Chains A and B, each alone.
Chain A
Amino acid sequence: MNVRVPYLSEEAIEADAESLLAEYQLAWHPTSIPPVPVEDILENFLGLSLGFGDLREMLGFDDVLGATWVEGRSVVIDQSLSPEHPGTVEGRYSFTITHEIGHWRLHLPLCWKDPAQMGLFEEQRCQPSIVCRSSLAKERIELQADKYAASLLMPRKMVLEAWRGEFGNLNSHYFSWDGPCFSNRPVFIDNQPVDLENPTHRDIVIVEEFREIARRFALRFGVSVQAMQIRLENVGLLLRERPLDLFSSRTPF
């Protein structure tokens, strides 16, 4: 999309996602337990049409994931991401839907065309207002929609509640050279015990330990493990480094 996308702070994006969820909960479904029903929000609360289609064929891009037709109030997800498609991960599908919700909430004014064109809606014939391709994931408009998706699928409040339910408190977990600070469990990678003394494994161990926690939460929130891990780090519950402590005698690694 060749328009200038204004800067939006992460806080502003998250605030809008929280606001959308609150509006939905108030008007439609007072759920406060994950997973967030993003299909229901898109179709019934926002009143958009959801569909699956061969976007790669339709739009001529090999890496297209989803598209939004603003005037037609329609979102089409590439059929390769459809939940019944073999090998499809539910979390990736949910994230793509929510990513399109993000575009709808954040970028609608940038895409709105002359109302005279509204009567022309027909997905197969009209070009979509927004096309989401994996190769364009680093563009500002896509990063904003990604942030929105993470905030809506994994609302901070629900994440904190889930964490409290799991660990009994809201303390962050972090990892040190000598292993995870919160657990005495041995660490395994591909079913093989990992030598925590060996610093070359450090990064792998961290990633694997993070994933173990993220995996459990990802199941609850209906998202991919990777998305959950990023969100847990973003919320400040999983830390890659031991936080600096003014009164600690131990030198941070």
Chain B
Amino acid sequence: MALKDKKFGDTVRDLRKAKGMGLREFAKKVDMSPTYLSKVERNEFRPPAEEKVVAIAEALDQDPDELLGLAGRVPSDLAEIVRSRPREMAAFLRTAKSLTTQEIEKLTQQAGRRKKRSKR
């Protein structure tokens, strides 16, 4: 399912229904009130806080970052990374912005390998 094409609430509702979970059952699982969750699902309320979005993503077997992006939120660890080295990270992200998804994935793999080597 292409998450980015839909609103956060519609996406959560569709994914929940696809898993055959009822509203109350799901609300209990992610520790939210059914009324609040229902209003989020119907886009009556804005998406919840980051930790709740992550809990929702995990309960729906979805990538938390992708759902956070749909919720219009930047994961707090990313914000911290940028804050720790603002100039370098901002320059890196601005440069990477023009790359394709595949190129970014390749770059991530390379960075991962470099990180492993430097740990040894």
Q: A-side interface residues toward B, CB under 8 Å?
A: 39-40, 43-44, 47, 49-53, 76, 79, 82-85, 123-124
Known: A51-B38, A51-B39. 8 other contacts (CB 8 A): A39-B23, A44-B22, A50-B23, A50-B38, A51-B42, A53-B42, A76-B38, A84-B35
CA distance A43 to B16 in the complex (A): 10
Q: Is B17 an interface position by the 8 A CB rule?
A: yes
Inter-subunit contact A40/B35 (CB<8 Å): no
How close is A230's CB to chain B, nearest CB, in angstroms? 26
Inter-subunit contact B23/A43 (CB<8 Å): yes
Q: B-side interface residues toward A, CB under 8 Å?
A: 13, 17, 20, 22-25, 33-35, 38-39, 41-42, 44
Q: Which residues of A have CB within 8 Å of B20?
A: 44
Inter-subunit contact A82/B35 (CB<8 Å): yes
Inter-subunit contact B22/A51 (CB<8 Å): no
Inter-subunit contact B35/A50 (CB<8 Å): no
Interface of B is mostly: helix
Of all chain B residues, the one with the shortest Cβ separation from A37 is B22
CA distance A47 to B35 in the complex (A): 19
Inter-subunit contact B41/A51 (CB<8 Å): yes
For this complex, 29 residue pairs linking A to B, each with C-beta atoms less than 8 Å apart, are A39-B22, A39-B23, A39-B24, A39-B25, A43-B17, A43-B22, A44-B20, A44-B22, A49-B13, A49-B17, A49-B41, A50-B22, A50-B38, A51-B42, A52-B35, A52-B39, A53-B38, A53-B39, A53-B42, A76-B38, A82-B33, A82-B35, A83-B24, A83-B34, A84-B34, A84-B35, A85-B35, A123-B42, A124-B44
Inter-subunit contact B23/A51 (CB<8 Å): yes
CA distance A76 to B38 in the complex (A): 9
Q: Which residues of A have CB within 8 Å of B41?
A: 49, 51
Q: Which residues of B have CB within 8 Å of A52?
A: 23, 34-35, 38-39
CA distance A243 to B23 in the complex (A): 46
| Residue of B17, B25, B35, B42 with most chain A CB atoms under a 10 A cut-off | B35
Inter-subunit contact A40/B22 (CB<8 Å): yes
B22, B34, B42, B44: the one contacting A82 at CB < 8 Å is B34
Q: Which residues of A have CB within 8 Å of B23?
A: 39, 43, 50-52
Of all chain B residues, the one with the shortest Cβ separation from A78 is B35
CA distance A2 to B106 in the complex (A): 62
Q: Which residues of A have CB within 8 Å of B13?
A: 49
How close is A28's CB to chain B, nearest CB, in angstroms? 9
CA distance A212 to B39 in the complex (A): 39
CA distance A226 to B71 in the complex (A): 44
CA distance A253 to B35 in the complex (A): 51
CA distance A82 to B24 in the complex (A): 10
CA distance A32 to B47 in the complex (A): 39
CA distance A71 to B32 in the complex (A): 28
Of all chain B residues, the one with the shortest Cβ separation from A124 is B44
| Residue of A39, A52, A79 with most chain B CB atoms under a 10 A cut-off | A52
Q: Which residues of A have CB within 8 Å of B38?
A: 50-53, 76
How close is A220's CB to chain B, nearest CB, in angstroms? 19
CA distance A7 to B108 in the complex (A): 67
CA distance A47 to B17 in the complex (A): 8
Q: Which residues of A have CB within 8 Å of B44?
A: 53, 124
